[in-house]
Amino acid sequence: MELLFLGTGAADWSPKHKGGKLYRRLSSALVNDDLLIDPGPCIYDLAEEIGNPDLFKNVKNVILTHSHSDHFNVQTLLRITRESNHRVCFWAQKAAYEKLLAGAKKGDDLPFYHPMDPYKAEKVGDYEVIPCYANHGDLPEGEIPLNYIVKDGERSFFYGTDSGWLIYPTYQMIKKVKPNALIFECTTGYAPGDERIFGHTNIAMIGIMMESIVAQKATAEDCKYYATHMARTLHGSHEDTAERLAPFGVTPAYDGLKIEI
């Protein structure tokens, strides 16, 4: 199972920042070539940059963490639905589906819709997907932010944006599955005193969680650890972030990074 990071930035990145030493698009990821996590506004830009404009032609399923605009772009989802070689299914909370309906025009081809409920495993194409509660806020009434465990046979990974501390039931699910890769969000980087730690994660928090995850053997023996969703204004260079995360065995991802789970 392959995972391609389509974007590794938090919401304060925009196209106007493109062209520097490092540019991060808004966070999204593609599993193999058929499962998309978060149809954000930047994914086609990444596809063009890597020379594969047809990157999403085989997408069958789209799963959504939450409906914030850096993770969910209605026009992106409609384009995927229109251009895919398959009938696309959209897996999300009801509030996100209502946002899709509000943003679509008469005659638009809509994906099938399937609701997601925390800790209820779903058969999503060839995968087993387990939605998990995330620690995040400022969402439409009734919407629950989600992280995901994605399983393909004996291999699995945890994808954790947007969220602060892993809440206990989510940690328990991770420990039960023992994923082969664990992807933290790292929005707040190294920014002491920033109040966003109550809905996001910083490097120090990752270090504390890693200490317990390793001690409790909560992941597979071959598990690899990554960070994504990094704010432009709360991190130094990529090299600086890598140096700060290295003591915890965590690697910062970058746009276009492809990993084998």
Q: For residue 37, is it within any domain?
A: yes
Q: For residue 235, is it within any domain?
A: yes
Q: What is the bridge-based pairing of β-strands 122-124 and 112-115? A: unpaired
Question: What's the CATH number where 218 sits?
Answer: 3.60.15.10
Q: What is the pLDDT of residues 118-153, one digit of tens each?
A: 999 999 999 999 999 999 988 888 899 999 999 999
* Nearest-angstrom CA–CA distance, 137 and 144: 9
Q: For residue 14, is it within any domain?
A: yes
Contact, 26 vs 40, CB < 8 A? yes
% of the chain with per-residue pLDDT over 70: 100
Q: For residue 259, is it within any domain?
A: no
pTM: 0.96
Q: For residue 162, is it within any domain?
A: yes
Q: For residue 216, is it within any domain?
A: yes
Q: How many CA atoms lie within 13 A of 150 on its CB side?
A: 30
Domain that holds residue 148: 2-253
pLDDT score for 137? 87
With a cut of 80, say whether residue 20 has pLDDT above it.
no
Q: For residue 239, is it within any domain?
A: yes
* Nearest-angstrom CA–CA distance, 231 and 251: 16
Q: For residue 261, is it within any domain?
A: no
> Coil, strand, or helix at residue 209?
helix
* Number of separate domains in the chain: 1
